[in-house]
Every structure is written in C-alpha cells, then in structure tokens.
C-alpha cells in the first residue's frame, strides 16, 4: 500500500513546488504601450497613424498627389559576415524599392549600379556588426534601411521614397 502512495505523494510534492516556482518567477505585467509606434520610429517619418490606429493630418510640406509603385530587385544580396579573417556566416537580403509612379524602367536601367551601391552599404552594415547576434532588431533594420535609402537616392535621386527589406536571413557556418 505504501509503495502505491509514494509516487502519488512525489507527484503532488514536485507539482506543487513547480507551481510555486512558476508563480515566484513570473515576470511583472507589462502595460500596453500607448504612445508612439511599438515597432520603433519610421526612418522616413511617414507615420500617419496614432497609437489607436486613427489617421492623423498629413505633414504640411508632404506632397499629397504623389503615388508610388514597387520595384522588386531581381536577385537577393548575399553578404559575408567576417570575424577576423574567417567568414562566420552569410546574410541574405531581398530588397524592393518604393518609387514614384512611372520610374520603374529608370530603376531597371541603372540596376547594376544600384546593386553595387546596395552591396557596399550592406558590406558596411556587416562590418559594423549589423548582422551579428540579434540582427533583425528594429534598431538594426532602421539603420540598414537608412543606409540603403541613402544609397538608392545617390543613384536614382529623389524618385525613391523607401527601400523595403522583403526578406532577410542569416546562415551560420
């Protein structure tokens, strides 16, 4: 009879200890964020939504009649992540551009120059540790998008509204 009670007593004891430990180690409640964008600031300053999802008035100097189209760059960008003299991982990034309507052909005409400029910006981002550790944090992605937008603007001028990171991955060796 005692042999049958020992497993039950052990299960109840350790189960109770587990529940008590879970209650003691429970993180504090985090209140919902009511101010600002929970994903971070928009690097281009294009936010027209409040924290409740209500649309705000547009910026006074923002052009109202511009429409944009999206241009997907044909191939992904492959960026080696180097530590010392050894390639530790490879980052793969797919990009699209948000450009003024009617300028898609202009993008495709200068795509080799644009890819070269983007690769240089991505290599700089990698050399500054942008693809190390938690590489997909909001701050890292905002920094990378800013550099890519500056690179796109240097090649295409003001027709570029934004650079969109459509896919990003890292393969560690």
Residue 23 covered by a domain: no
Residue 124 covered by a domain: yes
**Residue-averaged pLDDT of the chain:** 82
Number of independent structural domains in the chain = 1
pLDDT reported for residue 165: 93
- Of 62-66, 80-84, 137-141, least confident by mean pLDDT is 62-66
Residue 54 covered by a domain: no
Q: What is the mean pLDDT of residues 40-60?
A: 54
What length does the chain have? 173
pLDDT reported for residue 59: 46
CATH code of 76's domain: 3.30.479
> Which pair of structure tokens corresponds to residue 68?
């944009």
> Is the pLDDT reported for residue 17 higher than 90?
no
**The domain containing residue 162 runs over which residues?**
68-172
Contacts 24+ apart (CB under 8 A), 147-153: 147/121, 148/95, 148/118, 148/121, 148/122, 149/43, 149/44, 150/121, 151/114, 151/117, 151/118, 151/120, 151/121, 152/97, 152/114, 152/117, 152/118
Model pTM score: 0.62
Confidence of residue 5 (pLDDT cuts 50, 70, 90): confident
Confidence of residue 19 (pLDDT cuts 50, 70, 90): confident
pLDDT digits (tens, 9 = 90+) for 75-108: 999 999 988 888 999 999 999 999 999 999 999 9
Q: What is the mean pLDDT of residues 143-157?
A: 93
Residue 17 covered by a domain: no
Q: What is the mean pLDDT of residues 23-40?
A: 61
pLDDT reported for residue 36: 58
Residue 115 covered by a domain: yes
Residue 57 covered by a domain: no
Residue 168 covered by a domain: yes
pLDDT reported for residue 6: 87
- Most confident range (mean pLDDT) of 19-33, 49-63, 145-159 is 145-159
Confidence of residue 20 (pLDDT cuts 50, 70, 90): confident
Residue 153 covered by a domain: yes
């Amino acid at each position: 009879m005692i042999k049958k009670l020992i497993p039950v007593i052990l299960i109840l004891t350790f189960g109770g200890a587990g529940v008590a430990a879970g209650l003691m180690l429970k993180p504090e409640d985090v209140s919902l964020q009511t101010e600002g964008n929970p994903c971070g600031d928009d690097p281009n300053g294009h936010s027209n939504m409040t924290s409740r999802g209500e649309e705000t008035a547009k910026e006074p100097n923002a052009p109202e009649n511009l429409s944009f189209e999206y241009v997907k760059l044909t191939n992904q960008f492959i960026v080696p992540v180097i530590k010392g003299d050894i390639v530790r991982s490879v980052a793969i990034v797919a990009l699209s551009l948000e450009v003024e309507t009617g300028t898609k052909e202009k993008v495709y005409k200068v795509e080799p120059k644009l890819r070269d400029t983007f690769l240089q910006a991505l290599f700089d981002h990698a050399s500054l540790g942008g693809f190390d550790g938690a590489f997909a944090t909001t701050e890292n992605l905002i920094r990378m998008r800013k550099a890519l937008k500056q690179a796109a603007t240097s090649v295409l001028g003001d027709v570029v509204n934004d650079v969109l990171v459509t896919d990003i991955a890292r393969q560690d060796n």
